[in-house]
Amino acid sequence: QIWHDIEDMKLALTIIQASNLPLRSNGDQPYAFINGKMLFEDCGFDMFETKIIHSANPVYNET
């Protein structure tokens, strides 16, 4: 879980699952699937999911 303070605002991210996914048929780099929940300003949890591309360039968020 990661807490990050931004001008007195609080954001918590809890990773529930992180797993590598198989290579895509077009030869792109492998990517990982991550899902979890986030809490912002004690307003309750929202679920999130994202795919992260692994490459020689800085990692970027695909979704």
| CA 44 and chain centroid, separation | 18
2, β-bridge pairs: 13
**pTM of this structure:** 0.44
> Which stretches does DSSP call E strand in the chain?
2-6, 9-21, 31-40, 45-53
Q: pLDDT per residue over 12-60, tens digit each?
A: 777 787 777 666 666 666 677 888 888 877 777 788 787 776 666 555 5
